[in-house]
Amino acid sequence: MRLLEPHDVNCTSVAQGKTGICVRVTGINAFDAGVTQNPPLTDEVDFIDSSRGFRFNKLRGCNVTRRIRLTVRLPQSSFSSTHSQADYCISDVRATWYHSRVGDSTCIPSAASAVPIATVPSRHSALVRVTHWITTLCFLALLLSGAEIVISHPRFYWGETGNDLTPTLFKLHIPASRNLVPTGYGYVLPDQNGWSRSLHFQAAWVVILTGLLYAIFGLLTGHFRKNLLPGGADLSRRAFSRSIAGHLRFERPSEAEAWSYNVLQRLSYLFVIFILFPFVIWTGLAMSPAFVSAFPATVNLLGGQQSARTLHFFVSLALVLFLLVHVGMVWFAGFWNRMRAMITGHVATPRAATYMERT
């Protein structure tokens, strides 16, 4: 949750009836969309919904310090139809406005004491942020240890078996950490397989448990449905080709994308989460002699233990490709803003404000 800066909440006073204050909160686009409110201190204020803000009428006791707190709930159904729902997933905005001196007929907030504070929800929920970074650390550990394991036998095969005496499907032209492997290099790298294997399996355990937690959370909270499944309009051929064209032209992401994923992004994340991750786990387990003794179909379906190893290597390459594009796109979209959003959950306000003014 982030505190809004004073300039985010733009307070103006109006003479309306006997006394009244209009608090206009800018910086959050969905205020246009018709909002309801739920002020906890309602005995002090009456609330009238206006298209551009909130108006408090019949403010009693205007000459004493008052604290007005308003809670804004933004119903998702009221969001602009040109964007998919999750473009504005602001569900709850709390603004606390301290008002010290108000006159009888008009209430003029004093600049010094008018410290409007509002919180906006996180761009990414805490669970998404924590699981994202655990996954990142585990992936890097898996990548490093996986590369180390490959170095001990940089040859790949198809089928059940393969070794130095059998033909390869392909081989990597790198030196090896075992001297029996015919690499063409005159030297042998040090053996790092012990800790590499231990790190690989430990990181796999942590990332699988993290992934399970994330998947359960995603299903229970509607995270997949709201944030990752593309909306119907996004999947129309026109919207889809527009998004592809935008990516191909390297257009900067729109401000709305600070709060939401575009359709290609959604599809990529869904592909990684529901296709690549399960497949890399499956191909990994299919190499385990003990695991396949209990579940032989897991390796037989892949065409053998060496096929599983080769497929595991290719899925890892696909994941590395995703990582590179992902980091590249984050860089392109504004590295520190995106990083801040994924670390603290905050999105820089000026961007949101700019967006509001533009629409």
292 binds other proteins (CB under 8 A): yes
Stretch that binds other proteins, among 120-128, 150-158, 255-263, 347-355 (CB under 8 A): 150-158
272 binds other proteins (CB under 8 A): no
In angstroms, the CA 121 to CA 346 distance is 8
Which residue, chain included where needed, has tokens 């961007």?
351
Stretch that binds other proteins, among 37-45, 56-64, 104-112, 294-302 (CB under 8 A): 294-302
CB of 257 to other proteins, least distance (A): 30
Residue of the chain from 61, 75, 296, 328 that contacts other proteins (CB under 8 A): 296
Site track 304-343 with other proteins (rule: CB under 8 A), x = hit: -xx--x----------------------------------
Give the tokens for residue 44: 């002090």
Q: Which is nearer to other proteins, 253 or 284 (CB)?
A: 284
In angstroms, the CA 122 to CA 251 distance is 26
Using CB atoms within 10 Å of the CB of residue 3, give its burial: 0 to 12 exposed, 13 to 18 middle, 19+ buried: middle
Q: Which is nearer to other proteins, 6 or 40 (CB)?
A: 40
Q: Which is nearer to other proteins, 126 or 275 (CB)?
A: 126
Stretch that binds other proteins, among 52-60, 250-258, 288-296, 340-348 (CB under 8 A): 288-296
Give the tokens for residue 199: 């790190």
Q: Which of 16, 66, 17 is nearest to 41 (CA)?
A: 66
Q: Which is nearer to other proteins, 172 or 235 (CB)?
A: 172
293 binds other proteins (CB under 8 A): yes
Give the tokens for residue 300: 């037989």
180 binds other proteins (CB under 8 A): yes
**Amino acid identity at 326:** H
What count of Cα atoms within 13 Å lies in the side-chain half-sphere of residue 49? Answer: 13
**Amino acid identity at 149:** I
Residue 331 CB partners (closer than 8 Å, separation 6+)? none
Give the tokens for residue 24: 């206009």
Stretch that binds other proteins, among 4-12, 97-105, 203-211, 257-265 (CB under 8 A): 203-211
Stretch that binds other proteins, among 228-236, 273-281, 282-290, 344-352 (CB under 8 A): 282-290
290 binds other proteins (CB under 8 A): yes
* DSSP assignment letter at 339: H
199 binds other proteins (CB under 8 A): yes
- Return the CA Rg of the chain: 28
| 345, 124 contact by CB (below 8 A) | yes
Binding site for other proteins (CB under 8 A): 149-150, 152-153, 155, 160-166, 178-180, 193-195, 197-199, 201-206, 285, 287-294, 296, 299, 305-306, 309
